[in-house]
């Protein structure tokens, strides 16, 4: 029979696991400068560690700017696609759903080519849980750690 302290411990461990797996970050592109001309977005992205599940937040004057998600070829030539609609709300949330390089440009006027309105980031796998104290393997993919944590939490609440 599990004691109530074992039950509490299990719930606590599960909650910590759930929290660490679910935590995701919103990055306001350009911080307080937002998405604007003559800001060095290469520099901005340099010290950031983007993960699947995080979001980019583009804040800008929607009369003056927009945001196209493009591929590397269009990024390098600063070409806005003419077959896709840009983000244009002035306050766009873009979820980082897959790993790899992501490219964003402003499609207005010459903002990409002459005014540095271009952003390249690298997105890594979902943020790993911190080393667990329970001795669970460190390399568990986060989705399975999520289900394990959720199952533990539910089991602890329902059955102990
Ligand atoms: C932006 O910052 C990067 C990294 O610090 C630097 O290499 C690059 O020259 C800068 N770009 C401009 C246009 O200043
Ligand atoms: C980049 O996107 C353009 C427009 O959608 C497409 O024509 C081109 O083939 C793409 N390039 C790569 C390398 O995927
Ligand atoms: C769209 O862009 C492609 C090149 O990227 C060009 O060949 C095509 O003519 C353009 N279409 C329109 C409607 O402007
Ligand atoms: Cu712009």
pLDDT band at residue 102, thresholds of 50, 70 and 90?
Answer: very high
Q: What is the pLDDT of residue 136?
A: 41
Average pLDDT over residues 43-66: 97
> What pLDDT score was predicted for residue 108?
98
pLDDT score of 135: 44
- Closest residue to atom 11 of ligand 2, CA basis: 73
Give, for ligand 1, the residue of 33, 42, 116 to mutate: max count of ligand atoms closer than 8 Å to Cβ: 42
Lowest mean pLDDT among 42-56, 105-119, 134-148: 134-148
Rounded average pLDDT over 79-89: 97
Q: Is the CB of 151 under 6 A from ligand 2?
A: no
Domain locations in the chain as residue ranges: 1-23+140-160, 24-126
* pLDDT above 70 coverage of the chain, percent: 66
Its pTM surpasses 0.85: no
> Residues with Cβ within 6 A of ligand 1?
40, 42-43, 46, 116
- CA dist 82 and 48 (Å) reads 31
Give the Å distances, CA to CA, from 60 to 10, 36, 57. Answer: 46, 7, 10
Q: Which of the pair, 11 or 139, is modelled with greater confidence?
A: 11
Smallest CA-to-CA distance from 69 within 53, 80, 55, 54 is with: 80
Q: Which CATH superfamily is domain 24-126 in?
A: Cupredoxins -  blue copper proteins (2.60.40.420)
Closest CA to 132 of 5, 8, 6, 18: 18
- Locate the DSSP E strands across the chain: 26-28, 50-51, 55-59, 68-70, 91-95, 100-105, 118-124
Phi/psi at 75 (nearest 5 deg)? -60, -50
> Which residues are CB-neighbours of 137 under 8 A, at least 6 positions away?
none
State residue 138's pLDDT score.
Answer: 40
Can you tell me which atom of ligand 2 is nearest the CA of 71? 1
């Amino acid at each position: 029979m599990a004691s109530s302290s074992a039950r509490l411990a299990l719930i606590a461990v599960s909650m910590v696991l759930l929290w660490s797996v679910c935590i995701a970050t919103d990055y306001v592109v350009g911080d307080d400068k937002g998405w604007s001309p003559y800001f060095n977005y290469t520099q901005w992205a340099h010290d950031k560690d983007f993960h699947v599940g995080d979001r980019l937040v583009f804040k800008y004057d929607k009369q003056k700017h927009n945001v196209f998600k493009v591929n590397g070829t269009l990024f390098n030539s600063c070409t806005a696609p003419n077959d896709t609609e840009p983000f244009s709300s002035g306050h766009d949330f873009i979820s980082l759903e897959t790993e790899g390089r992501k490219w964003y440009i402003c499609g207005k006027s010459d903002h990409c080519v002459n005014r540095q309105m271009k952003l390249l980031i690298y997105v890594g796998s979902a943020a790993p849980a911190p080393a667990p104290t329970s001795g669970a393997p460190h390399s568990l993919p986060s989705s399975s750690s999520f289900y394990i944590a959720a199952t533990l939490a539910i089991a602890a609440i329902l059955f102990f």
